[in-house]
Amino acid sequence: MKPKIEQPVNALRRRCVTVAAALVFGSIALAGCGFRPMYGEAAGANTTGGIAGTKLAQIRIDPIADRIGQELHNRLRDRMNPSGQPDVAAYSLSVTLSQTEQEIAGDTDENVRHKILKVTAVYSLIPTKDDKQPLLNNTSSRISVSFDTLDDPYNDIATKEDAERRAVEQLADMITTRIAVYFTSHPEI
């Protein structure tokens, strides 16, 4: 009969071997499925940032109306071309924003209200050369963020602006990711 100390050690060894085997098998399966990094360098790539990073840097972002549109424009520019807009852009991104506010709850005195801000971005990615058809035409991304209002005008403005900022951050991430996925799945463009 084995001593009681060896039993937990053996169980730990078996668990480590199982985890190591799972990691090896997972790595082989991931390599065999055609996985390619979206932003990083793929094997044999000769440019920094991979396919998506190179293509994103070639996008000119058209001005977007209103203050929230200007914030979205800046966030998209920070994500797509942090070195600045390209001098000669290969693609043009046009975005139209719309937003609605919906009150969903309030207290009995109507002093505190819970609201939902829904922001929708409709965008098109168009090649600037040869008047080609849009790559992404009237694609939309929607985001909903919540905020509370009180009977204090300053607080109400500050909480709504914070909700707009959060919505813009998330929309910029969504749009950038969707365009990067498009370029990764269509490297010939």
Q: Which pLDDT band, with edges at 50, 70 and 90, does 99 fall under?
A: very high
Edge-to-edge strand ranges of the sheet holding 91-106:
59-61, 91-106, 113-127, 136-149
Read off φ and ψ for residue 157, nearest 5 degrees: -65, -45
Handedness of CA 29, 183, 56, 64 (dihedral sign): negative
For position 45, what pLDDT does the model report? 39
**pTM (whole model) above 0.85:** no
Q: Are 42 and 36 in contact (CB under 8 A)?
A: yes
CATH architecture of the domain 50-185 equals 2-Layer Sandwich (3.30)
Q: Which residue has the tokens 């920070």?
A: 78
Note the Cα 182 to chain centre separation in Å: 13
**Residue ranges per structural domain of the chain:** 1-35, 50-185
- pLDDT, one tens digit per residue, over 34-91 is 555 555 554 443 334 567 778 888 889 999 999 999 999 999 999 888 887 888 888 8
